[in-house]
Structure 1
Amino acid sequence: MNWEQLLSLKRFGDTNKRIRKEQDETRLGFEVDYDRVIFSSEFRSLQDKTQVIPLSETDFVHTRLTHSLEVSVVGRSLGRKAGLKILEKHPHLQNIHGYQANDFGAIVASAALAHDIGNPPFGHSGEKAIGEFFKTGEGQQFKSQLTAKEYQDLCDFEGNANGFKIATQSRVGREGGLRLSYATLGAFMKYPKESLPKRPTTHIADKKYGFFQGDKNAFVDVANELGLIKRGTKDSISFSRHPLAFLVEAADDICYTIIDFEDGINLGLIQEEYALEYLINLVRDTINTEKYHQLNNTQDRISYLRALAINTLINEAVDIFIKNEEAILNDEFKTALLDKSKYEAQINDIIKISVEKVYQSQEVIDKEISGYEVLRTLLGVYTKAVNNKNIDSLSNYDKLILKGLPNNIIRDDDSLYSRLLNVCHYISLLSDSKAILTYKKIRGVSF
């Protein structure tokens, strides 16, 4: 892979090549990507979607929106720092093509801002709830009518693939979805493969999948434009990662490691003495002990250590990225950046206590159970209604249900796979509160 292709400013529908030197510096193409994500309705709904603690009623806890904004800020720093070093190694990118360090920052920030845009209500348990509906629930009935890959898309419903759908899916008046630059789409694509074969290698890019069967052509178009390396066989589509996807992933890893931990402390799920010990172990080389001892409350101490920890891991991730740049460009680097960190033990200690005290807390478990019931009910009612319409067998109840769905969910010309995926996609766009309200209406408990 080469950076000239990887930094493509092309957007869906372009007929002429976009040249970096011809860009308006007051509103650069990659910065437009950021604007388009942040003003999208899909991004806005993240303000009421679970990050760690589902349906939390406290002000301390992050939503998907605040998490995404923080990941974007970290991603911008990662991109800019890496961009400076890349331009030093490849001066022609700046001297001939006009690329700047801030271009890298804008690409990573935009992709990081969008990284959770496809996540359904109730966090990762929402993805699992949709998958279970098709794997072990009512949705099993459709298996024989779908291809293996179509069925796998549904059984392992994936927020990353759903995010790519949001970013690229055309509809009337919105051709090309958000029309992001291909460079940003490439950085967004952490798992550049289809749902089968499932985890064919131990490569980090094969951990999950990144696009639905219905979005295959758009995905391949982006991958080919960027010059991503083909990794699949004639029966499967798989490409190398865009190098900047490693930085997007690192930004997410840094934020959920440190900030989810901070949420656990603020909620009282993790004791302060544990928290301070674990964070100090991570920032021991940079902490100003005199300043630290002047802080006289938990929140200020945690905030200070959190800022140091994030900065430490940003610098560490950039160093690892630059040291392995050639291997990354040749698709020979097969792990997340922080898996190679000298702070790996400290990071794992923090994640372990977060899993035990936060992710597996009774509050999380209880509310994830509620999320399963909500999504199972919505999927059952909606899939039945759209399929009954397709065979002209609508009940009066089905007709009422369909009146609450957008027209693009219930088109007569759709295949079974498209109908099912459209229902999942529609439900995925609901906020936690909207999903609960809809569930209550269906159950007749909102009167």
Structure 2
Amino acid sequence: MNWEQLLSLRRKGDTNKRIRKEQDETRLGFDVDYDRIIFSAAFRSLQDKTQVIPLSKTDFVHTRLTHSLEVSVVGRSLGRLAGKRILERHPHLKEVHGYMFNDFGAIVGAAALAHDIGNPPFGHSGEKAIGEYFKNGKGQEFKSQLTDKEYQDILDFEGNANGFKLLTQDRKGVSGGLRLSYATLGAFMKYPKESLPKRPTNHISDKKFGFFQSERNAFSGVANDLGLIQTRDGDDISFSRHPLTFLVEAADDICYTIIDFEDGINLGLISEDYALEYLIKLVKDSINTKKYNTLAYKEDRISYLRALAINTLIQDAVSVFMDHEEKILNGTFDVSLMDKSKYGAQVKDIISLSVEKVYKAQEVIEKEIAGYKIIADILEVYTDALVQKKENKASNYHNLVLQTLPEFYRRTDVSLYEILLNTCCFVASLSDSSAVHIHNKISGKQL
């Protein structure tokens, strides 16, 4: 892969190539990507979606929105630092084509901003709940009517694939979704493969999947334009990652490792004593002990340690990226940047403690259980109404139910696969509170 092609400013529908030197420096195309994402309805819904603690009433606990903003900030720093070193190593990118180190920061920042845009309510349990409905719930009756890949799309419903769909899908009068640059879409594509075959290799990009069958052609178009290396062909297509995807992933890894740990301490689920003990190797070269000892409040002490730890991991991730740039460009770098971090042991210890004390906390488990029931019930009501409508068997009740769906999701003049997938995507679009509200309505608990 080559950087000039990977930094494509092209958008869907373009007839002419966009030249970097011809860009308006006051508002670059990559900056436009960030703006379009942040003003989108899908992004706004993240303000009430679970990061770790579902339906938390505590102001300082992160939602998907605050998490995404923080990942974007970290991603922007990673991109700028890496971009500066890439331009030093490949000076023609600047001298001939006009690329600047801020371009890399803008691409990674925008992709990082969107990285959770397709996630369902109730955190990662929301993805599992959708799949569970089709695996063991009433939805399994549709298996025989779908292809293997179509069924796998909903069985392993994936927030990353839904995110790509949201960013690129055509709507009536709107072609290409948000029409982001291909560089940003490429950096966003964390798992550039179909839902089948599942985990064909141990390569990090094969861990999950990144597009539904409905976006197969759109995905291939972006990947081919960027010059991503095709790793399978024929009936099963997949590609190597865009190199900047590794920085987007690192930004997410850094934030959830350190900030979920911080949330756990602020919630009282993790003792503050663990903070310095677990972070000391990350901050020992940068901590100002005198300043730390003057901080009277726990939140300020934790915030200070968090900032230092994140900065340490940013610097380390960029070093790993540059050390392995050649492998990353030829598609043979097969793990995350954090897996190669010299602080890998400390990161694993922090994540293990967060899993034990935060992710498995009673409050989290109880609300995830409720999320399974809520999502299954909503899926059952809407899939039944849509399928009955498609088969001209809809009752008055079914027609009333359909009136509560946004118009975009009411279509029945499409395949069964598209109806089921669109219903899953509707459920995924709901905030935690909206899902609870709809469930109360359809259950007759609220008028």
**TM-score per shorter chain, which class?**
over 0.9
Instruction: Tell me the distance in 2 between the aligned counterparts of 1:195 and 1:31.
Output: 31
Q: Which residue of 1 aligns with 2:253?
A: 253
Tell me, yes or no, if the aligned pair for 2:80 and 2:105 is still in contact at 8 Å.
Answer: yes
Deviation at 1:383, TM superposition (A): 0.4
Point out where structure 1 has 5 or more consecutive residues left out of the alignment: none
TM-score, reference length from structure 1: 0.99
Q: Which residue of 2 aligns with 1:81?
A: 81
Q: Which residue of 2 aligns with 1:281?
A: 281
Residues 339-366 of structure 1: CA deviation (Å, up to 9, x unaligned): 0011001000100000000000000000
Instruction: Tell me the distance in 1 between the aligned counterparts of 2:263 and 2:410.
Output: 41
Deviation at 1:282, TM superposition (A): 2.0
Instruction: Tell me the distance in 2 between the aligned counterparts of 1:203 and 1:217.
Output: 23
Q: Which residue of 1 aligns with 2:91?
A: 91
Tell me, yes or no, if the aligned pair for 2:387 and 2:412 is still in contact at 8 Å.
Answer: no
Deviation at 1:215, TM superposition (A): 0.4
How do residues 166-205 of structure 1 correspond to structure 2 at under 5 angstroms?
166-205=166-205
Q: Which residue of 1 aligns with 2:35?
A: 35
Instruction: Tell me the distance in 2 between the aligned counterparts of 1:308 and 1:127.
Output: 33
**Is 1:229 the equivalent of 2:222?**
no
Instruction: Tell me the distance in 2 between the aligned counterparts of 1:206 and 1:88.
Output: 32
Residues 407-439 of structure 1: CA deviation (Å, up to 9, x unaligned): 332323210000000101111111111111000
Tell me, yes or no, if the aligned pair for 2:412 and 2:419 is still in contact at 8 Å.
Answer: no
What SS does the aligned partner of 2:154 have? helix
Q: Which residue of 1 aligns with 2:3?
A: 3
Residues 260-286 of structure 1: CA deviation (Å, up to 9, x unaligned): 000000000000101221112321222
Q: Which residue of 2 aligns with 1:48?
A: 48
Tell me, yes or no, if the aligned pair for 2:55 and 2:432 is still in contact at 8 Å.
Answer: yes
Tell me, yes or no, if the aligned pair for 2:386 and 2:412 is still in contact at 8 Å.
Answer: no
The one-letter amino acid paired with 1:95 is: E
Deviation at 1:297, TM superposition (A): 1.9
Deviation at 1:391, TM superposition (A): 0.6
- Farther off after superposition, 246-255 or 391-400: 391-400
Instruction: Tell me the distance in 1 between the aligned counterparts of 2:58 and 2:87.
Output: 44
What SS does the aligned partner of 1:231 have? strand
Deviation at 1:15, TM superposition (A): 0.4
Deviation at 1:191, TM superposition (A): 0.2
Deviation at 1:244, TM superposition (A): 0.1
Deviation at 1:295, TM superposition (A): 1.6
- Farther off after superposition, 289-298 or 93-102: 289-298
Point out where structure 2 has 5 or more consecutive residues left out of the alignment: none
Instruction: Tell me the distance in 2 between the aligned counterparts of 1:28 and 1:376.
Output: 43
Instruction: Tell me the distance in 2 between the aligned counterparts of 1:318 and 1:390.
Output: 52
Q: Which residue of 2 aligns with 1:316?
A: 316
**Is 1:407 the equivalent of 2:382?**
no
Instruction: Tell me the distance in 2 between the aligned counterparts of 1:444 and 1:413.
Output: 30
**Is 1:295 the equivalent of 2:319?**
no
Instruction: Tell me the distance in 2 between the aligned counterparts of 1:276 and 1:371.
Output: 35
Instruction: Tell me the distance in 1 between the aligned counterparts of 2:341 and 2:435.
Output: 40
The one-letter amino acid paired with 1:53 is: I
Deviation at 1:213, TM superposition (A): 0.2
Instruction: Tell me the distance in 2 between the aligned counterparts of 1:9 and 1:120.
Output: 30
Instruction: Tell me the distance in 1 between the aligned counterparts of 2:261 and 2:37.
Output: 27
Q: Which residue of 1 aligns with 2:437?
A: 437
TM-score, reference length from structure 2: 0.99
**Is 1:416 the equivalent of 2:422?**
no
What SS does the aligned partner of 2:445 have? coil
Instruction: Tell me the distance in 1 between the aligned counterparts of 2:227 and 2:71.
Output: 26
* Identical counterparts, % of pairs: 72
Deviation at 1:289, TM superposition (A): 1.5
What SS does the aligned partner of 1:243 have? coil
Instruction: Tell me the distance in 2 between the aligned counterparts of 1:104 and 1:388.
Output: 49
The one-letter amino acid paired with 1:223 is: A
The one-letter amino acid paired with 2:379 is: L
Instruction: Tell me the distance in 2 between the aligned counterparts of 1:446 and 1:85.
Output: 58
Q: Which residue of 1 aligns with 2:262?
A: 262
The one-letter amino acid paired with 1:202 is: N
Q: Which residue of 2 aligns with 1:394?
A: 394
What SS does the aligned partner of 2:232 have? coil
Residues 178-204 of structure 1: CA deviation (Å, up to 9, x unaligned): 100000000000000000000000000
Instruction: Tell me the distance in 2 between the aligned counterparts of 1:63 and 1:96.
Output: 43
Residues 225-261 of structure 1: CA deviation (Å, up to 9, x unaligned): 0000000142211000000000000000000000000
What SS does the aligned partner of 2:153 have? helix
Q: Which residue of 1 aligns with 2:357?
A: 357
Q: Which residue of 2 aligns with 1:62?
A: 62
**Is 1:381 the equivalent of 2:354?**
no
Instruction: Tell me the distance in 2 between the aligned counterparts of 1:317 and 1:282.
Output: 13
> Residues 296 and 408 from structure 1, CA distance in 2 versus in 1: closer, same or farther, beyond 3 angstroms?
closer
The one-letter amino acid paired with 1:292 is: Y
Q: Which residue of 2 aligns with 1:20?
A: 20
CA RMSD of aligned residues (A): 0.7
What SS does the aligned partner of 1:62 have? coil
